[in-house]
Amino acid sequence: MQENFFPHPEKIGQIGLEDWLDIGNNKKALQECDKVLKKTPNLQCAKALKALTLHRIGKEAEAANILDALTAESPTDDATLQAMTLCYRELQQLEKICKLYETAVKLDPTNEELFTHLFMSYARIFDFKSQQKTAMTLYKHKPKTPYYCWAVMSIILQATRGEGKDDLKKRKLLLSLAERMMEKLIVDGKLDAEQEVQLYVMVLELQEKYEEIMVILEGPLGTKLACSNPPQNRLKYLLPLTRWDEINLLCKGILMESVDRWDIWKEYINSVFELMAAKPCVETNNHDNHDGAADGDMETVDDTPEKCHEFICRIVENGADNGFLLRGPYLARFELCSKLVKRNVDASDVLGETIELFIEYFRKFGHKPCCVSDLRLYLNLLDGEKKAELSSRLIKDVGISSTSVPQSEQQMQRHLCALQLSRLCGAHRNLTSDHLKALVTAFSLHYEHGYQTYGTDLLSTDLGPSDPYALLAAHVLYDLSRTEQSSEPIIAALVLLENMLKNSPSNFHAKLLSVRLYHTVGGCLGAQNLYNSLDTKHLQLDSLGFVHCARLSTTGLYSLCSNLFDVTLKFFSSNYKDSSDHITFSYKYGSFIKLDEFMDFRERLNNSMHYTTVAIDRIVLSLVECTNLDGLYNIDISPKDDKIDWEALRDNHDLSVYISWDPERIDAPPEEFEDIKQFFTQNLVFLKLRTSVLWSLSAAVDIIKSSDGVRTKHVDQLKNILQNWEALCAESRTRNHVPLRQNQVTLPLPSRLHVALDTPHFEVVGNTFRVLLAAASECGAGEDLVKKIEGSLKTMMEMIEKRTEDEKNSNLVYRRETMEYVVNTVEILSLSSLVCLLCNDLVKPTQGKKGKKKVNESTSKELVNRLANSLKTHINELNNILQSWSDFSVSSDLSSMLESLNLNSDGHNVCENIVNSYVFACREIQSVLKSKIKMLNIVS
């Protein structure tokens, strides 16, 4: 446990309770609590600990009763309050902690510790006004500067995140108040600590008073910023003041000391061009008199590209003289060249031929893996012809032909660098199948040679020096699969990566790529094994969750889905609780500059698209597996309490985690691709469609549970939801959303929206809800609705049968898409069966049921029976289709292909993973379908 809130052992009667709670033995802890309460029944701390223990063993109702009773007693001792606080935090009822301490401080208004806890309780729920009031009250009782700063920070947060967020007048007023409060501290001589000076600077920065900040940094208060970098601080505030001459000189001074500071290089070069633009408008008394300046004169402002290049050359020469070689000044030439090109200035006059810059950089740093990522940023400086020339010159410069191998590890790294840059330049595009196969063969041979020569003595945690050859080969094999419209090259790539991982078991690049390739062909079991080996945890469950978790729902392997969804949701839930600690600790230690970061981090995770997707998928999965009404009533159907802020949802996926040398990566990181932005929009629409189903089901359950007087309200609610759902479906289909192009293996698979729109979700499930509405309101529209549902079900089954019998199923990519259609069909049938069960509960004889309206039982019951029979017919039909479709094998041509690519493996494990994925998925789906047949038998 994080807080040691237990009273003295003499009070509690024993020592072991804390230990039992710490090790998680809650049953033993409960027994100890009961022992203590037998001796001292009124001991409040023991009661609070019992409530905590009951909550942890799942008896939340009993825990809540004890907590309510304790709250009524108005405890004031710290041990009881801390125990209750921990319990409320685990229950995620943070508001009750505030009420607890509000009562306590009224009973003990001079207790500093109670007021501190009250302030922290408000900080957890972001009640900034109450924070301010509490902090000022605390400061009056105990005039300590940190408490005063708490109040100032609370005012700042009101301005930036509270009522001043959308009201500029209030924001200005609140920030002005915060500034005056800090000035009072200075006048009183109480501004001593570094954190307090940082808070004052923060207030001024939010008001854009940069001149005042510069006065502080250069005055006596600036000396208190002991942990900060003075030149860096000055630069930060000189930039918005546009003092380009000072910025230029400051950057030069920093660069002379720290040659590799890339952020400073960019600001320096930017200042050169800003000075050059302003030159005609200002007096340049000493700027132009460069001829009289001695070499290395740091007082001279560089306001032309020529002077900038001279400074870069001087840095390079100094490095050469001192015997070290750093990338910063060499990359600065590329940045200077880029700025010149953007301004339509001929860079060759200053820097010479651009392609020679690339060649020089490669010769100096080509033996380092970072060379590729460095040069990728600037490849757009070359046109298509120059890129092709660069590609051939780099390969030639390495000195390795098609019949030779690297003679040293450094030469091998240079060869890899040249190959990767060559691919970035587009050398692998538009090649024939034979050429692509030849490349794969060459890369696999180079990998084997590199491993045998340089990789055998490495630790299991080391990445093999020749591993990039195998990764390149896998990328080329994916290109080959696209060219031939065949899944065999993907399986070959998986076999190649599997062999590589035996030699380099810690190579996460290979694991990530393998997960993606497995999902491409529907091999979820193989993807699951590799995903587990990645040991993804904490924040990676959000940033990397799309790699596996996002596709799991389309595979039909419901047991795998359930486990991974629970782990992911547990992370988000625990983050919500734990992130409040980061905020309270920031106040406790005066780290005010970190508060915004922690709050942004919390909001970023709470508004994660992946979190919302997994939460909804988990609910839908529970519904698919549900077999009776009692189970349905126990499911918390409404996602996030119906409070999804669609505008705030954000995509936290880290697409750049995949190593890639596709030419598209030159222009921008994948997160900025227009296709990826469209992909996010499509996923958002898909989520809205999914939540419409859940909200509809929630309203339908309310109709069944409600009495006559309240039922009309829920009927109207369901009608509105269905109207919005239908309109959203129609709008989504008219927009003709284009699937994400699959020309790059490092991009996600297409959005699930496309298959969802191709299958009749609303036409079946939505109309089944309308059958329930018809039964609830006694209107005669039920028969027409059932006919529509039967027609839609028939069309859906014909589509599934056609896809499963199609010869294209030999292509595993097509087969994976078919499985996604099957999973959607199962979802439609399962949800419709549950609604049918609700309809049956609504129309069955009502004797003995209070408050339920008598309906035309015979007609409604006949329609419900007819609907149930139709659903059973199509469920059986789907079951029969799956029985024959699940029997398949991977193409026999694979072994010859592996042999032609010099892969010494039969690919048995990979093929087995893929086949078993489909076989096990079909079994799980058939099990679900059988449970639905059994459930529907109740109706008829």
Q: Are residues 711 and 801 in the same domain?
A: yes
Tell me if 829 sits within 8 A of 871, measured CB to CB. yes
Q: Which amino acid is at 929?
A: L
DSSP assignment of 855-867: --HHHHHHHHHHH
DSSP state of 460: T
DSSP codes joined into one string, 673-694:
-HHHHHHHHHHHHHHHHHHHHH
User: Lowest-pLDDT range, 73-82, 99-108, 884-893?
Assistant: 884-893
CATH number at residue 498: 1.25.40
One DSSP character per residue, 93-140 reads: -HHHHHHHHHHHHHHSTT-HHHHHHHHHHHHHTT-HHHHHHHHHHHHH
- My answer on whether 501 and 624 are in the same domain is no
Question: In this predicted structure, what is the pLDDT of residue 306?
Answer: 93
For residue 788, CA distances in Å to 97, 759, 762, 782, 784 come to 53, 14, 11, 10, 6
Which of 16-25, 107-116, 902-911 is modeled with the greatest confidence?
Answer: 107-116
Nearest Cα neighbor of 574 from 537, 545, 600 is 537
508 within 8 A of 462, measured Cβ to Cβ:
no
DSSP code of residue 747: S
pLDDT at residue 905, as a whole number? 67
- Same domain, residue pair 673 and 783: yes
Whether residue 879 sits in one domain with residue 731: yes
pLDDT at 323: 61
Half-sphere exposure of 755 (CA within 13 A, CB side): 24
Distance CA 110, CA 704 (A): 54
Let me know if residue 655 belongs to a domain: yes
Q: Count how many domains the chain has.
A: 3
Q: Between these two residues, 531 and 319, which has the higher pLDDT value?
A: 531
Would you say 409 and 417 are in contact if contact means Cβ atoms under 8 Å apart? no
Domain assignment of residue 522, yes or no: yes
Among residues 492, 480, 399, 400, the alpha carbon closest in space to that of 438 is found at 480
Q: How far apart are CA 452 and CA 398, in angstroms?
A: 21
Please indicate, yes or no, whether residues 828 and 707 belong to a single structural domain of this protein: yes
Domain membership of residue 395 (yes or no) is no
How many Å apart are CA 496 and CA 513, to the nearest integer? 11
Q: Name the pLDDT band for 553 (thresholds 50, 70, 90).
A: very high
Are 493 and 624 contained in the same domain?
Answer: no
Q: Let me know if residue 706 belongs to a domain.
A: yes
Contact 79, 5 (CB under 8 A): yes
**Chain mean pLDDT for the chain:** 88
Q: Are residues 773 and 919 in the same domain?
A: yes
650 forms beta bridges with: 608
Average pLDDT in the 769-776 region? 90
Assess whether 736 and 877 both reside in one domain.
yes
Tell me the pLDDT band of 857, cut-offs 50, 70 and 90.
Answer: low
CA distances from 453 to 41, 417, 446, 563 (A): 75, 19, 10, 42
Boundaries of domain holding 794 = 616-936
Q: What is the pLDDT of residue 845?
A: 65
Residue located via tokens 């009667």:
13
Of the two residues 30 and 244, the one the predictor is more confident about is 244
| Ramachandran bin of 851, using left for φ above 0, alpha for ψ from -120 to 50, beta for the remaining angles | left
**Are 659 and 525 part of one and the same domain?**
no
In b/e form, how buried is each residue of 732-769, taking b as 16+ CB within 10 angstroms?
beeeebeebeeebbbbbbbbbbbbbbebbbbbbbbbbb
Q: Which two tokens stand for residue 785?
A: 């609705």
* pLDDT exceeds 60 at position 11: no
79 close to 45: Cβ distance less than 8 angstroms = yes
Cα–Cα distance, 754 to 733 (Å, whole number): 9
829/700 same-domain check = yes
Look at residue 891 and tell me whether its pLDDT is greater than 70. Answer: no
Instruction: Using the 3D structure, point to which of 125, 151, 166 is the last residue of a domain.
Output: 125
Q: 249 lies in a domain?
A: no
SS3 227: coil
My answer on whether 697 and 787 are in the same domain is yes
Q: Give dist(CA 447, CA 468) in Å, integer.
A: 8
Q: What is the mean pLDDT of residues 454-458?
A: 86
pLDDT: which is higher, 174 or 782: 174
Single out the residue in 535, 563, 586 at which a domain terminates: 535
Same domain, 515 and 627: no
Return the pLDDT at 282: 42
Q: Which of 535, 569, 597 lies at the terminal end of a domain, its last residue?
A: 535
pLDDT higher than threshold 60 for residue 846: no
Question: Would you say residue 313 lies in a domain?
Answer: no
- Asked whether residue 160 is assigned to any structural domain, the reply reads no
The CA distances from residue 588 to 119, 144, 597, 885, in Å, are 11, 13, 16, 63
Arithmetic mean of pLDDT, 513-542: 94
Residue 622 in any domain: the answer is yes
- Place 207 in a pLDDT band, splitting at 50, 70 and 90: very high
User: pLDDT category, 287, cuts 50, 70, 90?
Assistant: very low
- Residue 557 CA to residue 187 CA, distance in Å, equals 68
Most confident of 47-56, 588-597, 748-757: 748-757
Residue 527 clears pLDDT 50, i.e. is over it: yes
Query: Residue 108's domain is classified under what CATH number?
Result: 1.25.40.10
Tokens of 537: 């945890």
The pLDDT confidence band at residue 297, using thresholds 50, 70 and 90, is low
Mean pLDDT (whole number) for 662-681: 92
pLDDT tens, residue by residue, 379-434 = 999 999 999 999 999 999 998 877 788 899 999 999 999 999 999 999 999 899 99
Arithmetic mean of pLDDT, 678-693: 95
